[in-house]
Each structure stands twice: as C-alpha cells, then as structure tokens.
Amino acid sequence: MKIRYLGHSAFQIKTEKHEILIDPFIDDNPVSPIKSKDVKPDFIILTHAHSDHLGDSIKIGTRDNPLFICVNELAEWLKTKGLNAHNMHIGGSREFDFGKVKFTIAHHGSSTPDGRYAGEPAGVILNINGKTLYHTGDTGLFYDMKLIGEMNNIDYLFIPIGDNFTMGIDDAVKAVEFINPKVVIPIHYNTFGIIEANPQLFKEKVEANGFKCYVMKFGEEIEV
C-alpha cells in the first residue's frame, strides 16, 4: 500500500482496491501540496471534528460519497449533512473492505464548525495489508499508550509534536517509549506558526532512545 502525508494530520492511503483518507484537511492546509480535487476516497476516517481535521470532509463527501468512519456523535452530525457514515466508538473495532479499524482514547476536545459537541476525540489503529498503523489524533501524553503498545505490534506510529494543542516534542518522545513502534512519523507541526517544531530534533531524541524515526516531507508518499 501507499501512504502519502499531506501535512498536518492528513493522510491518503491507497491499497490495490481502495483509497482511504484520514483527517482530510487539504484545501485550507497551507502545507498540503495537493487539493481536494486530487483525491477520490472510498473511506474517510476522522479522529475528531475540529476544522483542521474535518477539513474538506463535507465537500469531498458530497462529491464522492465515501463512507465516513468515526465516533457516533460525529457520524450522526455527518448524516445530517446527507453523508454516509458508520458509527463507532472508543474501544470498538470493525473489519471494513480495506482492513480493520479500532478507535482509541485521545485527550483533547471535539466540536463541529457550527459549535456542536461532536463526541469524544479519538485515535485510530488500522490493520491494512498486514501492517498496523496507529494515528493518535490530537492528544496529550497518556500512560495508557503503554497498554496500546503492549497489545498492538505497531509498524507505523503517527504522532503530534507541534505542542500548544497537543503533545510537544518531549512528551511525544516519551509516548514513543510507551508505544514501542517499529517506525515513528511526526505530524501536526509547522502547519501554522503556533505549532512550529523541529522534526529533526524529535528524530534525534527518539533515535537516542533506540527507536526509528522517519520525517515525511509534506506530500511525500511511501510504499509500505
């Protein structure tokens, strides 16, 4: 499969048969090299409803009719916009045509652009083509990451380092120790001035602890 990082928390995953987007903040994302017209998802996974994650969901959803996968309250809100959504919640997992999705806790908030409570924010663990990906969503550091690491053999961990709204570098370095992934990829930084962070500093600190870090360029695609 191919994993393309669109900057911020947004990813485009392509398997042989499906295109999956995570947190498709694209058109207003100053660091995304592509626009929403360049994607055609079969599925959209949302960690929470803040505008830098919900992004172009309504526009893309209305155009391409993908299946949204997210927590119940947000799924119900998407349905009021005429979109197709599958309701899940934290701790729950389910097999879809492309692979398995499980929602985890995340310590953060979540509200829709019209100011409604959108359920709890989440992280997501995906099992696709034999690989396990953990996208933490927006979150602070929490000790249950240790449990998540014990119960899942994480191949790729996507973790925020931008501070202010989420973990900063030092907390993210500790999170990597807890989760024990094969490779960590930093996200949610340098999109805006308020979340400026140096991914090379994160990489140095993580690698000093014996973990492997790969800094994806905004727009870069990797084959895994």
Where do contacts with Mn ion occur on this chain (CB under 5 A)? 52, 138
CB of 108 to Ni ion, least distance (A): 5
What are residue 113's DSSP bridge partners?
none
CB of 165 to Mn ion, least distance (A): 5
Nearer to Ni ion, 1 or 10 (CB): 10
20 near 44, Cβ under 8 Å? yes
**45 Cβ contact list (under 8 Å, min separation 6):** 20, 21, 22, 23, 68, 69, 70, 101, 124, 126
CB atoms within 10 A of CB 156: 19
Nearer to Ni ion, 118 or 213 (CB): 118
Nearer to Ni ion, 102 or 188 (CB): 188
CB of 166 to Mn ion, least distance (A): 7
Residue whose C-beta lies closest to Ni ion: 50
CB of 138 to Ni ion, least distance (A): 4
Nearer to Mn ion, 128 or 195 (CB): 195
- Distances in Å between the alpha carbon of 118 and those of 93, 122, 135, 172? 19, 11, 19, 25
Distance CA 146, CA 202 (A): 19
CB atoms within 10 A of CB 170: 14
The option from Ni ion, Mn ion, none interacting with 120 (CB < 5 to 8 A, set by class) reads: none
**96 Cβ contact list (under 8 Å, min separation 6):** 43, 67, 69, 86
**Tokens 């299946």 sit on residue:** 67
The residues of the shown chain that bind Ni ion, judged by CB under 5 A, are: 50, 138
Nearer to Ni ion, 19 or 23 (CB): 23
CB of 52 to Mn ion, least distance (A): 4
